[in-house]
Structure 1
Amino acid sequence: MNSTSILRQKTSLQESVQEILNQQMAVEAHSSALYLSMSAWCYAQGLRGTGEFFRKQADEEREHMMKIFNYITHAGGLAVSPETSNIERNFTDLRSILVMSLEQEIQITENFNKMTEHCQKARDYQTARFLQWYLDEQYEEEKQARRCIEIFDQMNSKDAIFDIDREIHDLKKKD
């Protein structure tokens, strides 16, 4: 038996749990790439504040991916570096980006809820506890995405777009 097999046998991370964690790493990588694309679009429209907001959001999603990567590897599992493809690059307007961002965060929350449920059924309470951080984080992410839409809707007029841009940018300063 080689040393890799021995190391793998000494982990409590079940294959099914490792698989869903790797799948979520791919979701986080896709989310990071999507937010970076949103950032680029905003910058191209002259919306520097919102561009910066989404750039920081992209960085956070990559950090979330790496946190899962580290958890898997430290537990003796095999983390799989995800590929990203099919990243949206063309957006209609700022509001559609904000709505897409909220929808993305809601989907990620649903993923973490399902993952936590799976871990509890598998009696992997350590990983379920690890995932609690993400559930708390997702509450904040959804709240922030909703606030961006509220700001846009409350201030929406052609003359207010740069005020909207500044307000959204300032949300990251409040974190």
Structure 2
Amino acid sequence: MINSKLEKVINEQINAEMYSAYLYLSMSAYLESINLPGFATWMRVQFEEEQFHAMRFFTFLNERGGRVVLESIEKPQIEWKNVIEIFEQTLEHERHVTALLNNIADIAEDEKDRPTRNLMVWFIDEQVEEESSAEKIINELKLINGEGHGMLMLDRELGARVFTPPVI
């Protein structure tokens, strides 16, 4: 049985992951609206990854005898001034998620809850990749100043991304 402190923060994380999915889906919709289907595809994959993360916490909490309590999901932003701003917001958001995950890991350590601690190792490792990926795209966007032929090439590259659920 999972303790109430961890049950509470994991439920909060389920909501945070669902908000992340919703935010990335909104970004995808915006990118489609400005004719960048590859960037939109990249964000749809982010959407799918965040849903997977939420469901991983959902399943874990149920398996540990906790109670999943779903809350309202905040409405995401729908407009951005440019693609660089979108990816800067993505990086900022991923850093926020990293802090939330680190908090859960800290509580798991304090409570000596090894199953939760082990779960958090996977998530924290995943965040390194998430932040690195966003930083890489920001750097490329800045190199091409977010415009011109470079945008078309980057759009095609990002459009090749597909979601493959991790084997856990």
Q: Deviations over 1:69-91 (max 9, x none)?
A: 00000111101123212311111
In the alignment, what sits opposite 2:121?
A: 132
Larger radius of gyration: 1
Root-mean-square deviation over aligned CA pairs: 1.6
CA deviation profile, 1:109-163 (whole Å, cap 9, x unmatched):
1111111011101111211111111001101111111111011111225323212
What runs of 5+ residues in structure 2 fail to find an aligned partner? none
Q: Please state if 1:18 is matched with 2:7.
A: yes
Q: Note if contact 2:45-2:162 (Cα within 8 Å) is conserved in structure 1.
A: no
Classify 1:139/1:163 alpha carbon distance in 2 versus 1 (closer, same or farther; 3 Å). same
Q: Across the two proteins, how many residue pairs are aligned to each other?
A: 163
Higher relative contact order (CA 8 A, sep 6+): 2
Q: Which residue of 2 aligns with 1:85?
A: 74
1:122 paired with 2:108, answer: no
C-alpha distance 158-126 of structure 1, shift in aligned 2 (>3 A)? closer
TM-score, normalised to structure 2, is 0.91
Which of 71, 78, 88 pairs up with 1:99? 88
Query: Counterpart of 1:4?
Result: none
Please state if 1:163 is matched with 2:153. Answer: yes
Matches within 5 A, 1:12-51: 13-51=2-40
Give the deviation of 1:168 after TM superposition.
Answer: 3.0
Structure 1: tracts of 5 or more residues without a match: 1-10
